[in-house]
Amino acid sequence: MEETYRIEHDSMGEVKVPRDRYWGAQTQRSLENFRIGRGRETMPPEIIRAFGILKLAAARANRALKPEKMTEQKKEAIERAAKEVIDGTLAEHFPLVVFQTGSGTQSNMNANEVIANRANELLGSPLCHPNDDINMSQSSNDTFPTAMHISAALSLKEEVLPSAARLIETFKRLEAENEGLVKSGRTHLQDAVPIAFSQEISGWRSSLETDCRLIELALEPLRELALGGTAVGTGLNAPKGFAEAAAKEISNICGENFISAGNKFHALSSKDEIVFAHGALKALAADLLKIANDVRWLASGPRCGLGEIFIPENEPGSSIMPGKVNPTQCEALTMAAVQVMGNDAAIGFAASQGNFELNVFMPLIADNFLRSARLLADAMESFRIHCAEGIRPNSEKMRKNLHDSLMLVTALNPYIGYENAAKAAKLAYKENISLKEACLKLALLDEKTFDEVFHPEEMAYPH
């Protein structure tokens, strides 16, 4: 009977590794020593992809700078294997969990071992060594922060910003469709002066546009890469020019501009670029939570709430109350936003834990950042498709609430003064009469003058 495992070795000795897996001894040791998260807290696929990108770039840079060691034959095999990592073909060969060594060393070695073994399989001979060839001119201490920056930048550029842009376009359409439809404004959850529904939507849209600008600003620091700093930032065992050459290759592979970090000691030990970028994600989360809450408040009812808008009815809302429908997309979006805020706290604390030349909370930081990006991108898309696209105004309810609002009295301030206007509002509320009746009863205005100056729909457009 054929053995189901093979023997691999590292500097500590021999290890049994599943025969059908490309990983080697160090990956297997990590798999056995860190059974944390019950197999569900594995390293994010975005990090694995980024490792494929940087290993491909490193091989090309080493070929140019160390041709005697990185032969053309090795480089070509490494390229083929690294591309399979990038496109996800070898995903099942990356089993390690987030909660491992804080430098991400074992995930770096996982990439080195998988690419080496796959390259050797393609070559038909064991020419590539995980450390000597795949990890040439590198250290886990500069590759993992490099993978963090690559994956973070690409997730913002490829997932978060496009998803936000599509939601912005939906709000633009809703703005145009609802231009001139005036409703009651609200502050402190209390009635306020009138606002056009399109103006209210424009606030949502502008918030997201601002968040996108903040994310774009945060992208720039993420483009600086630690690669070339090796173990402590000095660049030991990396040839001169490797950092710049590798960054250029990464840029070519990704189609995005990455550069070598100016100070590698900072790049290895500080995670402030990630903290700053996640701050922009937290700002987006805060605005999305506000927007989702606005939508579900406005849609509350259908009879005993505000009921000023209709949203799509996607599924039954109760297992006991027949016919009930809930704002579930709003709830999902707000939960995603709250999770991002929790992730931000974890990232901020983890980033503060750098000691001397290295931060050893990097896998946790990467996992939380990428989870936030993924959550926000997916939640915005779901909210757009299943809720925002189908928002419709309840014009009749908006008009009724507008004309019932006592805060319309604000329009009378220039004519009867603040204190007299307050008296009229209080009397109207106390006796359940209209503002016009209250003004006449208090002899503040005659009927003709009141009708001339009191135009609720025009209050939303004072200029």
Each residue's pLDDT, cut to its tens digit, for the chain (463 residues) gives 457 999 999 999 999 999 999 999 999 999 999 999 987 899 999 999 999 999 999 999 999 999 999 999 999 999 999 999 999 999 999 999 999 999 999 999 999 999 999 999 999 999 999 999 999 999 999 999 999 999 999 999 999 999 999 999 999 999 999 999 999 999 999 999 999 999 999 999 999 999 999 999 999 999 999 999 999 999 999 999 999 999 999 999 999 999 999 999 999 999 999 999 999 999 999 999 999 999 999 999 999 999 999 999 999 999 999 999 999 999 999 999 999 999 999 999 999 999 999 999 999 999 999 999 999 999 999 999 999 999 999 999 999 999 999 999 999 999 999 999 999 999 999 999 999 999 999 999 999 999 999 999 999 999 9
* 119 and 26, same domain (yes or no): yes
The answer to the question of residue 232 being in a domain is: no
pLDDT of residue 39: 75
* 308 and 331, same domain (yes or no): yes
The answer to the question of residue 350 being in a domain is: yes
User: What is the bridge-based pairing of β-strands 358-359 and 354-355?
Assistant: antiparallel
Token reading at 459: 């209050």
Helix (H, G, I), strand (E, B) or coil at 354: strand
The answer to the question of residue 387 being in a domain is: yes
Rounded Cα distance, 243 and 248, in Å: 9
Alpha helices by DSSP H, listed for 319-361, are 328-351
* 176 and 277, same domain (yes or no): yes
pLDDT of residue 19: 95
Rg (CA), the chain: 30
* 420 and 373, same domain (yes or no): no
The answer to the question of residue 347 being in a domain is: yes
CATH of the domain at 48: 1.10.275.10
Helix (H, G, I), strand (E, B) or coil at 7: strand
CATH of the domain at 170: 1.20.200.10
Rounded Cα distance, 247 and 222, in Å: 12
Among 40, 29, 138, 23, smallest CA distance to 367 is for: 40
Using alpha carbons, list the distances in angstroms from residue 324 to 114, 302, 328.
Answer: 53, 9, 12
DSSP letter assigned to residue 6: E
CATH of the domain at 413: 1.10.40.30
Question: E strands within 257-350?
Answer: 259-260, 309-310
* 177 and 318, same domain (yes or no): yes
Measured CA angle at 375 (ends 369, 376), to 5 deg: 95
* 130 and 154, same domain (yes or no): no
* 177 and 87, same domain (yes or no): no
- Which range marks the domain in which residue 122 is found? 5-136
Helix (H, G, I), strand (E, B) or coil at 169: helix
The domain boundary residue, chosen from 395, 424, 441: 395
Phi, psi of 8 (to 5 degrees): -115, 165
The answer to the question of residue 230 being in a domain is: no
Contact 230, 268 (CB under 8 A): no
Q: Which residue of the set 9, 125, 206, 318 is catalytic?
A: 318
* 132 and 153, same domain (yes or no): no
3-state SS record for 37-101:
CCCCCECCHHHHHHHHHHHHHHHHHHHHHCCCCCCHHHHHHHHHHHHHHHCCCCHHHCCCECCCC
* 62 and 208, same domain (yes or no): no
How many structural domains does the chain have? 3
pLDDT of residue 6: 94
* 310 and 168, same domain (yes or no): yes
* 82 and 208, same domain (yes or no): no
Contact 289, 330 (CB under 8 A): no
Which residue(s) pair with 15 in the sheet? 8
The answer to the question of residue 231 being in a domain is: no
The answer to the question of residue 371 being in a domain is: yes
Among 100, 97, 106, smallest CA distance to 10 is for: 106
Which residue(s) pair with 184 in the sheet? 194
User: In the annotation, is 318 catalytic?
Assistant: yes
The answer to the question of residue 233 being in a domain is: no
The domain boundary residue, chosen from 395, 414, 436: 395
pLDDT of residue 2: 59
Measured CA angle at 289 (ends 283, 294), to 5 deg: 130
Rounded Cα distance, 92 and 213, in Å: 37
Contact 96, 34 (CB under 8 A): yes
* 338 and 213, same domain (yes or no): yes
Rounded Cα distance, 84 and 323, in Å: 50
